[in-house]
Amino acid sequence: MRLEPIANPSFSRSVVPPALAIAATVVIASLLAMIAGADPFAVLGLIIKGAFGTKFALLETLNRATPLIFTGLAVAVAFRARFWNIGAEAQLYAGALVTVVLGTGALPWPGFALIPMLVLCAVLAGALVLLVPAVLKTRFGVDEVVTTLLLNFIFLLFISMLLEGPLKDPMGMGWPKSARLIADARLPRMFEGLRLHWGFGLAILCAVAVWVIQTRSTLGYEMRAVGLNREAAAFAGIPVNKVLVKTALLSGGLAALAGFSEVAGLKGSLTLDLSPGFGYTGIIVAMLALLNPLGVIVTAMFVAGIFVGADSMSRAAAVPTYLADMMLATALLLMVLAIMLTRFRVRRE
Amino acid sequence: MEIVDILISASFWAAVIRIATPLILATMGELICERAGVLNLGIEGIMVAGAFAGWMAVYSGTGLWTGVAVAMVVGMLFGLLHAVLTVPFGLSQHVVGLGVTLLATSSTYYAYRLALPQVTSPPKIAAFQAYEIPILSDIPLLGQALFSQTPFTYLAFALVAATSVMLYRTPLGLAVRAAGESPAAVAAQGLSVTGIRMGAVIVGSGFMAMGGAFLTMSAFDSFFFEMVNGRGWVAIALVVFGSWKPGKALLGAVLFAGFDALQIRVQQTSFGADIPYQIFLMTPYILSIVALILVSRRAQVPAALMIPFNKGER
């Protein structure tokens, strides 16, 4: 077989394959539920109801979407320039680490000064963590996929070491857990009486900011050019390595905000299970959004909804929560295939 | 010196080879894929799937070697998925690879929960036992290290030799290497680049799954979550470190396992007791990165690695 680019894809060409991908994902999920011996319609219904059915469920989904918007943006920014940052998990923990180091009493400032300071320092920490793979890539040509992946393991062990050492909460009953943030370091709720913190607002703000950078700034243009064709970009006089380093700094900073927002908005302290793989899930979020920063907001809510819905579903039906991860992995693979099929025609030879 | 005592003990070297075995299998699998021009980031998930499939087969009553075959087949199925999406359809090897890892890992955990809904600690199987090769195993130090392992380890070493012979001494190997260096030339010879690359990814994925199966069927005797623990990613680093050559990659895997075995033992010495254990656990990953930096200058990457081949555009 052979792939042939389509010059002017028709409307149905650009809509049918993605719709089929979503339909196929639902069918596969139903089959998986049947394998587990459950009624597929009931399972899907429970997932949707558990994710969006009640006010409580919806708020839970928005809370779960918040870190995913940040990591999704981090991945979207990096992948757009074809810088493969698979290390959002490490950068997330870097942001969380700085938040507890400075926010548990080291800086006894009032909230209006402390929170911006924490945001700034978290961003710097995340950027710094990703700067290492970026420099290794631009200076030595070391592939960033492997270095960012391995840094996830290194960084998690580093956090574990700190939580059992200098950062350990003396009041924590022996658990590896940091002290709690002071009240001024906590993110307030966005609306009185609703369990939704300002981390969500910050995430939306970041998505808009990234969109502006990508579509309205020189850096955005350069990042896109580097992603499309590195040689052509270099030939056109774009400083490719500088652009890659800037991309990395932006991406790392965004991922770190996920850690900041989880600690300051939700958990109040740092533990080793702060992130159930938000860094990796960010890749799914970004790919489903076709690397569009505003689309990331939507897909993050969708992905968060599946996780929250599956959690509540598995309490009611005897289907393991891993159904959610399988659905998302399937959706990811089918969607990249579908997007390709909107632009290419498959010809038999 | 305690470290010297460790280095001259036979049990240390036996542990090095044991720790190296899953890495050797996974590294060979990744090497075959990459030599044909396909980066396979599905490796971590395929190892998880292989670890579970082999163990589950034996737990359900099959023989050990059947279990290895089952693991291999499961790995090859995920390899087929990866190959279909990345080779004929030419999708991003990064995205597809990570997708396959997510899918293989989550479907393994799903299957585990369905097969064993109630257990808190996973059941054990009768795993491979060490087989002492007559005469050779009596050689001091070397005999313990190399010739008193389980048959699974001997198989891994045999596969390295087979991979090397296949790549450098057979027409098939030439075709695989050419598919990774200059696919247009392969197509001009009338050979199918698609077929060669898909075959390499499928076989390579089978090897990766065997690497995972070694963990549950030889190194340990049961399956638990997170047991692969980044070994797949380390294998990708080892392929680069080994400069895409089977012999060098084997050396890299043994070297890496040496440091890993050493850190476990140093932790238990009086000197190691004062250092947080996480430092020791980190060192293998840090060493992988350092190794990548050291070889980066003279890395001989297959020229067409990660570049899809579409006959339409030439």
pLDDT tens, position by position, A76-105 = 999 999 999 999 999 999 999 999 999 998
| Chain A residue whose CA is closest to B282 | A154
Q: Judge whether B173 lies within some domain.
A: yes
Mean pLDDT of chain A: 94
**A177, A167 Cβ separation under 8 angstroms:** no
Which residues does residue A347 pair with via DSSP β-bridges, in sequence order? A2
pLDDT in the model for residue A291: 94
Share of chain A above pLDDT 90, in %: 84
**For residue A217, pLDDT beyond 80:** yes
User: ∠ at Cα A225 (A220, A227), nearest 5°?
Assistant: 95
Closest CA–CA distance from residue A250 to any residue of chain B (Å): 21
User: B279-293 burial, b for 16+ CB within 10 Å, e for fewer?
Assistant: ebbbbbbbbbbebbe
Average pLDDT over residues A265-292: 94
Q: Which amino acid is at A326?
A: M
How many other CB atoms sit within 10 Å of the CB of residue A237?
Answer: 6
Closest CA–CA distance from residue A168 to any residue of chain B (Å): 14
pLDDT: is B296 or A30 the higher one? A30
Interface test with A, best of B89, B100, B240, B283 (most A CBs within 10 A): B89
Strand, helix or coil at B309?
Answer: coil
d(CA A347, CA B187): 17
Closest CA–CA distance from residue B82 to any residue of chain A (Å): 9
**B15, B261 Cβ separation under 8 angstroms:** yes
B282 part of contact set with chain A, CB < 8 Å: yes
d(CA A205, CA A294): 10
Domain containing B250: what range? 2-113+146-296
Radius of gyration of chain A (CA): 21
Average pLDDT over residues A121-136: 97
Quote the tokens at residue B186. 């392969």
- Which strand (E) or helix (H) includes residue B19? helix B10-35
pLDDT in the model for residue A349: 67
pLDDT: is A11 or B156 the higher one? B156
Number of domains within chain B: 1
**A137, A241 Cβ separation under 8 angstroms:** no
pLDDT in the model for residue A347: 83
Q: For residue A66, what are the CA distances in angstroms to A117, A201, A247, A297, A344?
A: 20, 9, 22, 9, 35
Nearest to B301 by CA among B77, B38, B109: B38
User: ∠ at Cα A68 (A65, A72), nearest 5°?
Assistant: 135
pLDDT in the model for residue A299: 97
pLDDT in the model for residue A205: 97
Residues whose CB falls within 8 Å of the CB of residue A1, separated by 6 or more in sequence, listed in order: A346, A347, A348, A349, B88, B194
Strand, helix or coil at B305?
Answer: coil
Q: Among positive and negative, which fits the CA dihedral A158, A162, A164, A165?
A: positive
Strand, helix or coil at A226?
Answer: helix
Q: Which residue has the tokens 């320039």?
A: A81
Q: Judge whether B218 lies within some domain.
A: yes
Average pLDDT over residues A50-79: 96
DSSP letter for B116, please. S
Closest CA–CA distance from residue A67 to any residue of chain B (Å): 19
What CATH number did the domain enclosing B152 receive? 1.10.3470.10
pLDDT digits (tens, 9 = 90+) for A251-271: 999 999 999 999 999 999 999
pLDDT in the model for residue B1: 63
Share of chain A above pLDDT 70, in %: 100
Strand, helix or coil at B221?
Answer: coil
User: ∠ at Cα A6 (A5, A10), nearest 5°?
Assistant: 155
B113 part of contact set with chain A, CB < 8 Å: yes
d(CA B44, CA B29): 12
pLDDT in the model for residue B10: 82
CB pairs under 8 A between A and B: 130
d(CA A121, CA A134): 20
pLDDT in the model for residue B6: 80
Contact B90 A326 (CB under 8 A): no
Contact residues on chain A for B102, CB-CB shorter than 8 A: 280, 284, 325, 328-329, 332
B105 part of contact set with chain A, CB < 8 Å: yes
pLDDT along chain B (314 residues), means of 10: 77 92 98 97 98 96 96 98 96 96 97 88 88 82 81 95 97 96 93 96 98 95 92 94 94 92 84 84 89 83 88 54
d(CA A75, CA A337): 19
B80 part of contact set with chain A, CB < 8 Å: no
pLDDT in the model for residue B314: 43
B195 part of contact set with chain A, CB < 8 Å: no
The DSSP result for A295-338, as a single string, is HHHHHHHHHHHHHHHHHHHHHHSS--THHHHHHHHHHHHHHHHH
pLDDT digits (tens, 9 = 90+) for A138-162: 999 898 999 999 999 999 999 999 9
